[in-house]
Structure 1
Amino acid sequence: MKFFAILLILGAITTCDRQKTPVTEHSSAMNLDTTTFNNIYNTYKEQTLQHRRFKHTDVDFLVQQHKEKQILEVEPIGTSFEGRSIYELRYGAGDKVVMLWSQMHGDEPTATMALFDLFNFLEGKEDGNDAVRELLKAKLSLHFIPMLNPDGAERYTRRTAQSIDMNRDARAGQTVEGALLKQRANVLKPRYGFNLHDQNIYYNVPETSNPVQISLLAPAYNYEREINEVRGDAMKIIVGMNELLQQYIPHAVAKYDDAHTPRGFGDNFQSWGASTILIESGGRKGDPEKQEIRKLNFIIILNALIQIAEGSYDRYPIGDYEKIPFNASQLHDVVIRNLEIKTDSTSYRTDIGIRRGETTVNRDYFVRGRIEDIGDLLESFGYDEVDAQGLQFIPAKVSTVVLDSASVLSQTDAFGLLKRGIMAVPVKTIGSTKASSLHNYPVHFFTQKQFFPTTSLDLGGTTNFYIGDQKGGLRYAVFNGYLIDLSKDIKGQLFKSRIH
């Protein structure tokens, strides 16, 4: 069913039906469907932000550009523990005060990108969407704080430079950044709040293999999880978000855990009288930089702001919020089922769950796959799965030829080695090739440090081995925690190698 957002020009704003009557096409003065949302996003996406590990300097540069345009009001409202500027950008002069803050966890940048897309849209004109901007400007007073934790963003870590989780600092105010957010809330007294985060990519919609791409929550303001008007309004806004999301990602939306956290900012904003919506950006196969999930953030935030401006979110029943399932945590990067493992004295079949950990190096990162679980994984799912019935574990080999440089080996050559059972190549030097460009090579290069392939499957152990038939024929490579189908071309298969 198409979603019809109600866009009403100044002076023609319709009062919402308090009886929660179904929305129809006739209730809209202007329709904003998924095609329109897509066109808006494609027009205004901030092209300089394409990867997750951008820094404060990138944000600072963009903020100064928006300041020069003089459409958004820009003000430095404080500095981080290490002295980096924290900005507030403002738009509109309406009676409904809305605060939106992102990246209070430094390694959760998806919504920050979406906010800069939204800033570009708010500065647009004569694109057929001026009525939307006029509505927001007249009815809302928007206050954005992107990258609230610039010190954490610099390191790409969750916590602040003080090693404090800022989202557990609403009560004590021990971080300068958390104290700043609380101070702004005291001054602005928002009626609505958007708490923008990323959650881990291993949440799934219960009883399905679907990763949760967007998780939503109206945080509880007390331990009893009671619903007053403030929290109820947040729930209604979320119902509207979910209605739109189902057109983009059906069966890939869930609710975050609603246990009351007295130290948490979302819970406290709710208790301070701001209808607060938590948006958690999750995982999506083939979207490691979360660009598709960034788009979803932009669309649902813009849609929610329109509905807040109109008051049209009030038509949604709170009962529909309760129908959204809670996150389950049953996902792995790879699940291998029924794999035969032979030892010197015996053999057995089992399931293997693999996850990949990231280590940040400036703006790049490397990955280390690990065995996360072994045993009966019937209720677990993988972004990639293989049923290895009739197949067995086969250790990888290391090349006996030492190359002068990694640069003499092409990706095609490397894939040829991988298909022959060789997963690592010793080199005298990495050469002039940038280490980041070697991420897409399906072999590991190592210099001084010895590379040890996976010879046994141990909990927490490495994940560099093969899956093959009883005659030693290789079907799949499990390469640094990535599943590579050896019968397919290497192009289009995602993985990251490591340099040792």
Structure 2
Amino acid sequence: MHKNHFTQIHKLNSKVSVPFILLFLCLCFSCEKPQSKLQRLNPATLNAAFETSRESAITHRRFKHRDIQPLIKKHRGAFKVEELGKSVQGRSIQQLEFGEGETKVLLWSQMHGDESTATMALFDLFNFLEAKNDSFNIIRNVIRKNLKIRFIPMLNPDGAEVFTRRNAYGIDLNRDAIKEVSPEASILKAAREAFAPSFGFNLHDQQIYYNVEQTAKPATISVLAPAFNHKTEINDVRANAMQVIVGMNRILQKVIPEQVGKYDDAFEPRAFGDNFQKWGTSTILIESGGYPNDPEKQYIRQLNFMIILNALYEIAHGDYTAYAVEDYFRIPDNDRKLMDLILKNVTIHDGENKYQLDLGIKRQNMEMENGYAVKGQIDDVGDLSVYFGYKELDASGLEYVEGKLAEESIVDISDLDREKALELLKEGFLAIRLKNMPESPFHDLPILVLHEHDSIPSGYNAGSAPNFYLKKNNELLYAVVNGYLINLKKPEATGLKQSIW
């Protein structure tokens, strides 16, 4: 469809009913056929491709620039590798090229240094594209012959070094597409101008607290075909991006049903995605969110691999054109109503009054030297009926009570193991003091470990540290330790990642 048709639709939006517009779009797009008879990929095939291609050298999200250099080096030969420039602190920003086709595709990841999920998936994809003589040759050859793909796997290596969003200047690279103050932004813009790709993939992570609107399900993957102007009009370029997204959503709904959200498409004139769309590159934003019990996002890494490979395959043989643009608008919007833990109807007795509150808790990662720890915080209190938790407990009949500090300190952290910590916890001791500071402040014990002269941080107001018990008839039933809920009758206090307070 010619872009003027989209402009006319937008102008008629206030005069013509939405069903009529959607029907018109459907007639325009659903009649289009794939350009080949190749079968669409299914989740089983994509999953099998991932299992044979997973890059074993990357097992967590906090890898650094130096960690990926040998991985890039091993792909020289199958890929053309080029240094595009250097970051503020002098780290190389590299590009890998694959394929010999006419349709050009550019993918860039980790323009925010702490958003590395898709970067992991790209290295899995490199392994897949380089492999030979297996059951996936048809997929691989279709991509090789029809596409020329350029990958920039780590655009912000300085941010990745300290696992933070911004670059070494303190700039959000995704708000520097126009002024180009940062060298990394100039590198990305120059890469697009030199290549003139038809398609672009803007790969990010989002907070785990996004949910699919009006549901308790996390937005594990969020998508967007960014707007190219303030009117959020649709032209051919943006429509192509929408159709590719519909194809990705087809896969995702089979493996994570109802866990795909769509970002607000309000135009951001400083952002790269919006400007790529404006400059003529059909741009697809992928945001990796949260998934239960996947703190290192290894399953979400697999989802990224699957939908990116599917998208490249469908672009390569033109199958994306068979999807209706209207189906893009059927993807539900993102919301931000998730918390790590919600305790409903907790009884508070403040000495004078007795009342009930919902307590909503979030746990934030705290970056520290040589690692990270988690610090919980009460995010909100009161009526939280519109919010959802990754874990929820109806605490009706349970009363908030402060924990005690163990009477004796320990000399070294090694003097306390998980079993001893649980025994103390069950006896009402929420914390213990430590005399000698270890080299590493990290531990996974189900108890607070405090410095020698500190006291237990706690409270039930917003902003307080979530460290307390829930009791019934003077019996302690649950402990909340740094925002983690522990059932004292059936303790499964695993997966805690704490530091000494």
Q: What's the TM-score once normalised by structure 2's chain length?
A: 0.91
Matches within 5 A, 1:93-112: 93-112=100-119
| Residue equivalent to 1:460 | 463
Matched AA of 1:463 = P
Report which stretch shifted further, 342-351 or 223-232.
Answer: 342-351
Structure 2 counterpart of 1:353: 360
Letter of the structure 2 residue corresponding to residue 418 of structure 1: L
CA contact (8 A) 1:18 1:315 kept: no
Q: Secondary structure at the match of 2:243?
A: helix
Task: Please list the CA deviations of residues 105-127 of structure 1 after superposition, one character each: whole Å capped at 9, or x if unmatched.
Answer: 00100000000000011111111
2:68 maps to 1:59: yes
Q: Is the 8 A contact 2:225 2:238 kept in 1?
A: yes
Secondary structure at 1:194 match in 2 = strand
CA distance, structure 2, for counterparts of residue 79 and residue 388 of structure 1: 54
Deviations 1:133-180 (A, max 9, x none): 111111101000011000111111111100011000111111100011
**Helix, strand or coil: the match of 2:185?**
helix
Contact 1:397-1:453 within 8 A present in 2 as well: no
Q: Does residue 332 of structure 1 match 2:334? A: no
Tell me if structure 2 keeps the 8 A contact 1:101–1:146.
Answer: yes
Corresponding position of 2:419: 412
- Mean CA deviation greater in 328-337 or 443-452: 443-452
Distance 1:212 1:23, change over 3 A: farther
Q: Contact between 2:357 and 2:383, CA under 8 Å: does it hold in 1? A: yes
Change (3 A) 1:329 1:481: same
Q: Give the drift of 1:21.
A: 5.3
- Residue 430 of structure 1: how far off its partner (Å): 4.6
1:388 to 391, 395, 398: 395
Alpha carbons of structure 1 residues 489 and 339: separation in structure 2 relative to 1, 3 Å: closer
User: Matches of 1:244 and 1:94 in 2, distance apart?
Assistant: 25
Distance in 2 separating the partners of 1:23 and 1:464 = 59
Match of 1:50 in 2: 59
Letter matched to residue 84 of structure 2: I
Partner of 1:497: 498
Of the three residues 373, 377, 381, the one matched with 1:374 is 381
Deviation at 1:418, TM superposition (A): 1.5
Q: 1:409 to 1:28 in 2, by over 3 A?
A: farther
| TM value normalised by structure 1 | 0.92
Q: Cα RMSD between the aligned structures?
A: 1.8
Give the drift of 1:22: 9.9
**Alpha-carbon displacement from aligned partner over 1:209-245 (angstroms, at most 9, x marks no partner):** 1011000000000000000000001000000000100
Residue 453 of structure 1 deviates from its aligned partner by 3.8
Q: Deviations over 1:368-411 (max 9, x none)?
A: 11111111111011111111111110111111111121112221
Distance 2:40 2:451 in 1: 60
How many residue pairs were aligned? 474
Deviates more, 1:400-409 or 1:118-127: 400-409
Structure 2 CA distance for aligned equivalents of residues 449 and 168 of structure 1? 45
Report the identity percentage.
Answer: 47
Unaligned runs of at least 5 residues, structure 2: 1-26
Question: What's the CA shift string for 1:163-199, capped at 9, x where partnerless?
Answer: 0110001111111000110011111011000000001
1:447 aligns with 2:451: yes
Structure 1 equivalent of residue 486 of structure 2? 484
Whether contact under 8 Å (1:482, 1:494) holds in the other structure is no
Counterparts of 1:36 and 1:19 in 2: how far apart (Å)?
A: 27
| Contact in 2 for aligned 1:357/1:368 (Cα 8 Å) | yes
**CA offset at residue 449 of structure 1?**
4.7
Where has structure 1 moved over 6 Å in runs of 4 or more?
none
**Aligned equivalents of 2:160, 2:498: Cα separation in 1:** 24
CA displacement 1:295-331 (0-9 Å, x = unmatched): 0000000000000001100000000000111101111
Which moved further from structure 2: 417-426 or 318-327? 417-426
Q: Is the 8 A contact 1:398 1:453 kept in 2?
A: no
Structure-2 separation of matches of 1:281 and 1:98: 20
